[in-house]
Amino acid sequence: MWLQLGKLPPNNSVWKVLNNPTLIAATPVAMAAFFNVIFFFMVLII
């Protein structure tokens, strides 16, 4: 997915959104929260 996005032209609106420093900083936090929720439900089910 990320390799395909790297091939987009710089003037693409999607590229501008992906190049946003705030979004780049928030992505790992969102992923960590997402995995924490999955882990929590896994522990809950087990």
Query: Would you say residue 4 lies in a domain?
Result: no
Quick check: is 22 in a domain? yes
Q: How far apart are CA 19 and CA 27, in angstroms?
A: 12
Whether 2 is in a domain gets the answer: no
Amino acid at 35: F
In a domain, 6, yes or no: no
Please indicate, yes or no, if residue 36 is contained in any of the structural domains.
yes
Q: Is residue 3 part of a domain?
A: no
Count up the domains in the chain and report the number: 1
pLDDT, position 1: 46
What pLDDT, on the 0 to 100 scale, is given for residue 3? 54
Report the pLDDT value the prediction gives residue 30, as an integer from 0 to 100.
Answer: 86
Q: What is the pLDDT of residue 28?
A: 83
**Domain encompassing residue 32:** 11-45
For 8, which DSSP code?
S
Instruction: Going residue by residue through the chain, which has 46 residues, state the pLDDT in tens, using 9 for 90 and above.
Output: 455 555 655 566 666 666 677 777 778 888 899 999 999 999 998 7
Is residue 15 in a domain?
A: yes
